[in-house]
Structures are given as C-alpha cells and as structure tokens.
Amino acid sequence: MKNLSKRKIVVAMSSGIDSSVAAALLKKAGFEVTGVFMKLADLPRFRESERRAKKVAKILGIPLLVLDLRREFKERVINFFLKEYKLGLTPNPCVVCNKEIKFGLLLEKALSLNADYITTGHYACLKKEKDGTHLLKGKDKEKDQSYFLWQLNQKQLKHILFPIGDYTKTQVRIISKKFKLPILKIPESQEICFVQATINDFLKLHLKEKPGKIISKEGKIIGEHQGLWFYTIGQRKGIGLPGGPAFAKASAGNPYYVLDKDLKKNLLIITKNENDLYRKELIAKNVNWISGKIPKLPLKIRAKIRYRHEPASTVITRSLKSKVSLRFTQPQRAITPGQSVVFYKGQEVLGGGVISESC
C-alpha cells in the first residue's frame, strides 16, 4: 500500500475490530482517512456501534461522518429479505447489503467526497493486474468473506481496498492492541445485523401466518405448519410435528428433515431419509462474472452453495441469458433456493449466482 499513500480513502467503520484495524493500517500507510458510520436501523446495537465508532475515530485522529441510510437499507435489504422469504426462498441479505449499501451507496458517497478508494473490514484480497482486478480469498481460511462479495464488478473493484485480507484474525487482534483500540472484548457481529433475536421471531413480526399441511414425500399428512417461510431445506429442528416431547424423543434417532416446499399447494414436504436431501445439479440465476466477461463453457470450478459449505468440484455446463447450470462431481446436501452459489478457481472468486432450483 506504500505506493498508494497520500490518497484519500473512506473507511466503512462499524466499530468492530476488523474495520477499526483497517482504518488504523491505512492511516499508518499514509492515506488520508475518513471514517463513515452507516446508520442502517433504529436498533440498540446500531446506537452502541455509532458511539464506539466515534471513540475509535477519536483515538486514530480521523474524522467520522455519520451516513443515515435507514430508508435505503429498509427498501433494498430488509424488504428484499422479507419478500424472498414470503416466496419460500432462503435469501442471503449480506450479499445484497454489500452490493447495494457498502459498495453501492457508500462508494457513491466516497466518490462525491473526491475519495480515491473505500474500504471495509472484509477478510478478502484483491490483485490488480492489466486485465482488471481479481477478487481472492482472504488469508484466514476460517474468516474468509469472499463468498459475500461475488456481486462486485470491475467498476467497483477499481475503488476498493481490503487491508486486512492478508492477515489472520489472530494477527488483527494483535494489531488492535498495538493501536490501543478499545474493541477486544466486543463479541463477533451477528451475521444478520437487523435481526435482534432469531430469524423466525423477525419473520413472525412482519409476515402473517399461513397454515398448511406437512406431508411426507410419499404424500401422507403428518402435521400442520404455520407458514412455509418459517422453514428451510435441510432443517431438522423446530419443524413442529405433533406429539410433543414424547414424539420428539421417539424420533430423536430417526428425525425428519425439510425436503421441499410446494408454494402453490402450501405444502411442507419432509423426509426421514437424509439421503433424499442430496442433489447433483442446480440452476443459478442473476449470475455475475466479476471480470465482466462470460468464460468459455463448460468450465471446471469449485463452488460453495452456502457460506460455511466446503467448496465442491463442479462443472458449469451451460449458460442461458443470466442463468447457468452446474453439475457436481458428488451430490451436495440441501441445495437451497435463494442462497448464493459462488464460483472459485483456486483462490480466485470468478463470480456467482442465486440458486433457483436443484435436481
């Protein structure tokens, strides 16, 4: 970063250890750093985070702007989240937030301030070459967040830096001590920042119950559900079958799993055979190639069908408009519509899409 010093950079400061260390490293490298705290919702955690962000900015000796994005965040992220669940899907709001808010609206704000770059506390790396900017996994395999960044494009990446991508979480904690940042005892942030308790609790506040039948894959009626949006493919606990504790105890060694959801008939389909959850193919929509160019197909890659999923060998067999088909070498468990499937070639993120169906 030394050859980029004296440039203006805006840091998205959530007040957590990662974004705080990112700001500290950039200032040390000679950047003209401005912190921005994005106010996204009227929740206690955001008010506390704003207070801590101001404290960190004061310690680092950098200005901090507060950007009120509550309306935009609700419209683009929270409403999207609820709409997708109502359609029976399992969305990933963090992916949408990165595209629309952090690397969308924040980038627009940064450029309006004549900044050269923006940065966040993401564990990911960038490699800028003649043919464009390549997005790579972060050094820390456990903390790597490249999965959430597959919707970025070359225009955005041109103005992005990820200063902690080459560090492990342990190293970041050590650095925070050196800068005397008051953040070591702050717990890890929640994956979904606007959900205070559980996802189901949040959904119950915003979506009406729509009871329907729970059936086995053979068509036998087993119970009643209160709304398909309260379930996700592969779910084992909390299905809500009749029989109470005695039934749960009797089924403990041979549990039921959510296999599918029939929206037209409002049916929740379950199975006792976990092998039924495995599929070898999927179709992804809204595909984005980070390079901006569609590669020649078929293409052998490794793909992640959810954040904590181990990348699996697959082949992208065909492309139709903004959709692609993937065929895995080995069947994958609980491929879930609405989740992101992200394409990797070695350490590089080639792009990704939203899972629309599996077979």
Is residue 197 a contact partner of residue 173, using CB atoms and an 8 Å limit?
no
Give the whole-angstrom CA distance, residue 51 versus residue 348: 37
Instruction: Determine the straight-line distance between the first and last CA of the chain, rounded to whole angstroms.
Output: 46
Give the whole-angstrom CA distance, residue 354 versus residue 197: 26
Give me the amino acid identity at 19. Answer: S
The number of C-alpha atoms within 13 Å of 231 and in the hemisphere containing its C-beta is 33
Alpha helices in the chain, H assignment, sequence order: 17-28, 44-60, 70-73, 79-86, 93-97, 106-112, 154-157, 169-178, 199-206, 244-250
- φ/ψ of residue 173, rounded to 5: -65, -40
Collapsed DSSP state (helix, strand, coil) of residue 39: strand
Give me the amino acid identity at 229. Answer: W
Q: Among this protein's residues, is 193 annotated catalytic?
A: yes
Catalytic residue among 94, 97, 125, 359: 97
Give the whole-angstrom CA distance, residue 108 versus residue 159: 11
* Residues noted as catalytic: 97, 193
